Amino acid sequence: MDNKKRYKLMTWILLLAVVMTVLAPLSVTQAAGVGDVLGALAAPTAPTSEGGGILNTIFSFLFDRILGPILNIFGGGSTTTAPPPVKLPPTPPSGGPVIDSGVLRGKVIVVDPGHGGTNPGAVSNGTRESDNNLAVSLKLRDRLRQAGAKVVMTRETDRNVATAGSSLGQELQARVDIAGRNNADIFVSIHSNSNPDPSIAGAMTFFPSGKSSKLALEVQSGIIRETSAVNKGVQPATFYVLRNTAMPSILVEMGFVTNAAEAAKLQNDAYRNRIAQGIFTGIVKYFQAN
């Protein structure tokens, strides 16, 4: 056999090996269309967009299907044993990206569901602000506690925080006092918005005038990322609970109960989960950076 013939024979053997390797697993289904073959060819390879085109694909394939297994055999077969099961991190309820919330361990976070008891807050479209605030706050509480934070709630039921008959100022001061007494690292007040114009919708986050907007910015972008709500941004404000808390504080306006569509969302459990998750990730990112 001369060199030319030997070369031809080797080429045919190689091609036959490729075809057999591709078709063998596919023949089981008896449905080896062109797409299946191409899929089988491309599957074990690195993305072809990295360059090399079809040649790269073929060489990668040859290595993965023929050379790789051979090398494994000679290498003692250690890589043929199944790898230990990978423990996946818990999937957040929203299905959003998993973030490392370890930074929250030991942090004291006061969560303040706005209004409650004799003061329902904004009432519109068959929903009360105080109920939505509480529902999301409880979900936020659970996420924060799961991450190891020490969460103090100003209320966990539909009630006033200050003693019965207190003024609005005393009611708000009672919430501020809880934050101060517990030496809170941050204070997070949860509210729903209202406007005479029912077309207005969206989420916004307030921070105390003259103080840092960092926490507000992280929480606001967390909410928008999770909910895709209209982004009404962050703004400085002089609300009582922002003005009188010593630690970094924010007041989240999750959405407008006066907007029919947003009022419906605010009462929806899945949407409430998304808001809570957005606030949670914002808080995590704030502590990661500060």
Q: In angstroms, rounded to a whole number, what is the distance separating the alpha carbons of residues 25 and 92?
A: 37
The 3-state secondary structure of 149-216, one letter per residue: CEEEECCCCCCCCCCCCCCHHHHHHHHHHHHHHCCCCEEEEEEEECCCCCCCCCEEEEEECCCCCHHH
Amino acid of residue 66 = I
Sign of the four-CA dihedral 276, 278, 284, 290: negative
Out of 139, 141, 175, 191, point to the residue binding Zn ion (CB under 5 A).
191
Q: How far is the CB of 234 from Zn ion (least distance, A)?
A: 17
Count of residues engaged in binding Zn ion, rule: CB under 5 A: 3
Selection from 172, 153, 158, 142 nearest residue 109 by Cα:
153
Contact segment (CB under 5 A) with Zn ion among 69-77, 178-186, 188-196, 264-272 equals 188-196
Q: To the nearest whole angstrom, how small is the minimum distance from the Cβ of residue 193 to Zn ion?
A: 8
CA atoms 161, 165, 168, 174: torsion sign: negative
Shortest Å, Cβ 199 to Zn ion: 20
Q: Which stretch binds Zn ion (CB under 5 A): 10-18, 116-124, 155-163, 276-284?
A: 116-124
Least Å from the CB of residue 137 to Zn ion: 12
Stretch that binds Zn ion, among 29-37, 90-98, 121-129, 260-268 (CB under 5 A): 121-129
Judge contact between 235 and 199, C-beta under 8 A. Answer: no
Residues 137 and 147: their CA atoms lie apart, in Å, by 15
Smallest distance, Å, CB 253 to Zn ion?
A: 7
Q: With respect to Zn ion, which residue has the nearer C-beta, 45 or 130?
A: 130
Instruction: Tell which residue, 165, 193, 173, has the closest CA to residue 112.
Output: 173
Nearer to Zn ion, 114 or 282 (CB): 114
CB of 222 to Zn ion, least distance (A): 20
The residue behind tokens 């957040």 is: 92
> Considering only residues 61, 103, 107, 114, which one is a binding residue for Zn ion as defined by CB under 5 A?
114
Contact of 127 with 267, CB cutoff 8 Å: yes
Q: Which stretch binds Zn ion (CB under 5 A): 84-92, 149-157, 187-195, 256-264?
A: 187-195
* Closest approach of Zn ion to the CB of residue 104, in Å: 26
Which of 191, 274 has the CB closer to Zn ion? Answer: 191
Q: Could you tell me if 148 and 243 are in contact, meaning their C-beta atoms sit under 8 angstroms apart?
A: no
Q: Which residue has the tokens 């970094």?
A: 248
Of all residues in this chain, which one has the CB nearest to Zn ion in the complex? Answer: 191
- 3-state class (DSSP) for residue 147: coil
Contact residue for Zn ion among 92, 116, 121, 282 (CB under 5 A): 121
Helix (H, G, I), strand (E, B) or coil at 161: coil
Contacting range for Zn ion; rule: CB under 5 A; set: 26-34, 48-56, 95-103, 190-198? 190-198
Nearer to Zn ion, 2 or 197 (CB): 197
What residue ranges bind Zn ion (CB under 5 A)? 114, 121, 191
